[in-house]
Chains A and B, each alone.
Chain A
């Protein structure tokens, strides 16, 4: 059976190419983009301002690409976790919807699993199964029942977005363009562990905010927590940030998961201030919720509050991120890991 390509996730330029190939009028591309990104239909058949012939020609080669979530878990605090099947057999991704007073944030995934192997991360433990297409990224927003309420999008779900640059950039274009979902880039944050080539591309070709997972200012310590430090050391990541003109509106923030007795000492406050000196930024302190078989423990409340105070005193805007959806395993990777069908043992090369 021929697997059809999907329309969802195509940029306007790609849609123009598709309509040209199918010998449809040029304005059809804009009409299709409207149906894909601004309206609520789920099939090509419903694109009512396209001629029957145009719809038939499209449907012969393409699927709309809408994938509905197969499972949702709701937390007592209102957080919801949606599980979406992917094009890879038996593989799932997860998307967390986090409503708050005025904001409703969606945390989207960019890969199935992840290659980066951070010591504290469940997604890292499940290995890498594949890249999400921009259609699969956009689908997490497009198929969300609460789509109308969304105010913010963060790329902080499963995977490292900057290890999937082409699909990430396409999804950002669609989210922020007039022909697409027309969201302000100031409502979108992409989080990275610091993949430098991807960061350069992202900074130069989008206007969305950047969040960098820092987790410790000491290089040797970071190396043990995040193997990427061997390849793209944090000092080089910070140099790129220093060299880049973020303007007044674009934000850079640092994510900092707090591990008891490891990265929560006064020496860490001091070194953080030193390495971030001159960068206008915010630090988000995050509670660590232990995952199976981890040697790490989360810092206690008092230590976190004190750490925050010390940073604030030194002039760095710092917040302690509230934990949401604990009762539904909102910590990234847990839900999909439960669903994951492990690859055959004999496929491994070790």
Chain B
């Protein structure tokens, strides 16, 4: 009998439906859904059976028929340079969905840097948005992936913190400064943080300093 671990690591073949650059070095890959998932989970992807899959949070909704992945190109990485070249119709290997970065209906602040927006995109597209505040940090005004979907749903509870550019509706400065400056930071809701290790660690420290108990903080690190 197949062990639980073998089950989880099992690779299925899927077909790429679309692979588009949406900002410099940032792509959205769409492929045919193989297994159902819960918003916030990740999958492993690889183009070669001999190479360990890299992990990506699913960005699409639970009921969508296709799976979307938002990824950054790492010039010196193994997979992402190959992924960025992949054409619709190509085969791709994908693991079963897994992971526990999962929210419920209770009040929460969602915090993301860069492609760390992906789990919240899945959550919003799966119908989770009441009682949520979303804070997204990015360097440029093109760094706010999926913003057109978040704005009408979350309205004032969607805050884009931009460190390098200025623009309408953008908070000029890093998201850590926003969190430092914001008055009445709630200490009774949960905080979800997703993105680069540096951001996650800095934000977690900052929240704790501002009175949030560490056990209210759930972090997903894109290591």
Contacts and interface: CB of A to CB of B under 8 A. Distances in A.
A53 B133 CA distance: 68
A13 interface: no
Contact of A230 (B195, B197, B214, B220): B220
Nearest to B193: A227
Interface stretch (A94-102, A146-154, A232-240): A232-240
A117 B201 contact: yes
Given A125-B205, A293-B208, A349-B139, A119 B5 contact: no
A120 to B, nearest CB: 10
A224 B215 contact: yes
Given A127-B197, A230-B99, A346-B164, A117 B221 contact: yes
Contacts of A295: 208, 213-214
B73 to A, nearest CB: 14
B100 A127 contact: no
A350 to B, nearest CB: 3
B8 to A, nearest CB: 7
Given A124-B201, A229-B100, A224 B218 contact: yes
A5 interface: no
A239 B218 contact: no
A350 B100 contact: no
Given A230-B218, A350-B199, A197 B204 contact: no
Interface in A81-128: 114-117, 119, 124-125, 127-128
Interface residues of B, number: 44
Interface in A216-257: 219, 221, 223-224, 227-231, 233, 236, 239-240, 243
A116 to B, nearest CB: 6
B128 interface: no
A23 interface: no
A238 to B, nearest CB: 10
> Which residue, A115, A125, A243, has most C-beta atoms of chain B within 10 A?
A115
B97 interface: no
A119 B192 CA distance: 15
Kindly state the interface size class of chain A when it binds its partner: 20 to 34
A163 B208 contact: no
B138 interface: yes
Interface in B193-214: 195-201, 204-205, 208-209, 213-214
A73 B219 CA distance: 35
A239 B4 contact: yes
A125 B98 CA distance: 27
A183 B80 CA distance: 38
A349 B138 contact: yes
Contacts of A163: 223
Contacts of A128: 197-198, 223
A213 to B, nearest CB: 15
Contacts of A230: 99-101, 218-220
Contacts of B100: 219, 223, 229-230, 233
Contacts of B208: 293, 295
A163 B55 CA distance: 13
B199 A348 contact: yes
Contacts of A124: 197, 201
Contacts of A296: 214
Given A230-B220, A295-B214, A125 B201 contact: yes
Which of A114, A127, A346 has most chain B Cβ within 10 Å? A127
Given A128-B198, A227-B220, A228-B221, 12 more contacts: A116-B223, A196-B9, A221-B215, A224-B218, A236-B8, A293-B205, A346-B164, A348-B174, A348-B199, A350-B113, A350-B114, A350-B199
5 contacts: A227-B200, A239-B5, A293-B205, A349-B195, A350-B199
Interface of A: 114-117, 119, 124-125, 127-128, 163, 196-197, 219, 221, 223-224, 227-231, 233, 236, 239-240, 243, 293, 295-296, 346, 348-350
Interface of B: 3-5, 8-9, 42, 52, 55, 98-101, 113-114, 137-139, 143, 161, 163-164, 174-176, 195-201, 204-205, 208-209, 213-215, 217-221, 223
